[in-house]
Amino acid sequence: MPYSIRMATLGDVPALNALIEASVRRLSIGYYTPRQIDSALQYMFGVDTQLINDGTYYVAEAEGQIVGCGGWSKRSTLFGGDQTKAAEDQLLDPAQHPGRIRAFFVLPQWARQGIGRAIVHFSEKAAYEAGFRRLELAATLPGEPLYRALGYLADEHFALTFPNGEHLPIIRMHKDLTAAVQTPSYMTQIPHHRLALIDLGTNTFHLLIVEMPAVAGDKPLALLRTKAGVRLGEGGISQGIIAPEAYARALHTLAGFKEEIELHEVKEIRATATSAMRVTRNGPDLVRDIFEQTGIQVDVIPGEREAELICAGVRQAVDLGTDPSLIMDIGGGSVEFIVANHSTIFWKQSFEIGAQRLLDLFFPDPSGIFPAASVEAEQEYLSTVLTPLIEAVHRYKPVSLVGASGSFDSLADMQVGRLRSESELPPCTELEVGSFQASYRHLLSGNHEQRVALPGILPMRADMLVVASVLIDFVLGISEITRIRTSAYALKEGLLAEMLAA
């Protein structure tokens, strides 16, 4: 639908406040918890009237209403509405300081229609004409994929702490305007063959967009790596359903992925889904709705196929060598174990004992400390259900453990003391056993709030990481393995490797 962009006025403030609340409450689902959203609206999000007074804030109008807003700033404040300001907002010197991109929001029903991109470009041109050659912004998690696609680079991941103790992860980003303002990256016309690979996991949805090589044997160029915490199994997987809230988060996330795919002019899409859509009664309904709403056809794969693709992906990141290693991927619904070396899979099996299922079984109230009795109960359960794994470990005697999942990424982030984005993760990380054991002790000894506050913890994983660490500790115990490596590559990279080899 057509829309127009104009400069905001103080008379727009009531409508802008209503738009901001509607946008944050709907478009933050799957990225932030309800408490984080409430806290952000109370303490952070809102209209900054200084932007309006400066003439650097814009609104998009359609059908007689404001449907989007955003702008830029020549002042020092990086984020926040009027409620965050306690002192004068100092002017910036364009010769010495970057300008700011500020306060972008779109009505949910108008999302994914290019409004945000248009206002960003409008703002970049105005800032450039005012003398700024570099811009900075603070991106929320749902906003980060758009800014990244528009050429903004991540500088720092950090969490705001609000007066009520709630934390909100955000990302500081920047962009140099010298040439980019003339021809926005999303408007360039270059012949290419671009492929999008989507992994619809039970905890997290991943999107990888690559430029396929023109010459056989060359490597593809990764254009975008991003992920969204959807928690598809939350509130239902143990009962065999995808809960309504999780169902809605999935559709919202796929709509966002579709925008990225269109933005990057992708020619081919390969989407795979695993445990949550594999075993739930309404999984086929979600596959159908995703196709009807986005045109993305999802392939629901069996556990054995999932294990094969994970192994193929890990081999792109980790030098497995000739000795067997145990590859372990802890999902929300299932856990895949593969014993393999660089060329051979000796054994593989998928078990429906993912972190969400373990959480439901052994930690139904994750607000507190995980009691010793629950640790013992989970380990006893694992010793029964993982009998095939115990037999495989005794037979093949793997020399190392390779973890390929968000839980292992989180443990590696705890080791370095900060939360890293998908694009920041190296293909392979050496996770010291002592570091894992220290993180394990911290996770077991704290309550939910204390776990969230640990350096490197993604809030949505704070509780699942407890039961996942019990599982990892169990595996180390039965195998006597003393070396752990993490792989940033898994299913989607395995699918890409297969396609390149075909």
Q: What is the pLDDT of residues 139-150, one digit of tens each?
A: 998 888 888 878
Fold type of domain 317-494 = Nucleotidyltransferase; domain 5 (3.30.420)
Least confident of 189-193, 242-246, 355-359: 189-193
194-301: CATH topology: Nucleotidyltransferase; domain 5 (3.30.420)
Task: Specify the pLDDT at position 483.
Answer: 97
Alpha-carbon radius of gyration of the chain: 23
pLDDT in tens, 256-289: 888 888 877 888 999 999 999 999 999 999 999 9
Task: State residue 373's pLDDT score.
Answer: 94
Which tokens sit at 373? Answer: 């009795």
Residue with tokens 């960003």: 120
Nearest to 246 by CA among 208, 307, 289: 289
Domain locations along the chain: 4-187, 194-301, 317-494
The pLDDT tens digits for 224-245 are 888 888 999 999 999 999 999 9
- Rounded-to-integer distance, Cα 490 and Cα 433, Å: 22
What is the C-alpha separation between 63 and 58, in angstroms, rounded? Answer: 17
Mean pLDDT of 428-432: 96
- Counting DSSP H helices and E strands in the chain, the numbers are 17, 18
3-state secondary structure at position 305 = helix
Closest by Cα among 470, 491, 419, 420 to 202: 491
pTM for the structure as a whole:
0.67
**DSSP strands (E only) in 331-391:** 335-340, 345-351
pLDDT value of position 218 = 82
Query: Is-contact 208 247, C-beta < 8 A?
Result: no
240: left (phi over 0), alpha (psi -120 to 50) or beta: left
Neighbours of 151 (CB within 10 A): 17
Domains 4-187 and 317-494 share a fold: no
Output the CATH code of domain 4-187. Answer: 3.40.630.30
Give the mean pLDDT of 437-446: 95
pLDDT at 188 over 70: no
Determine the Cα–Cα distance for residues 464 and 354; give it in Å rounded to an integer: 9
Strands (E) across 286-344 are located at 298-300, 325-330, 335-340
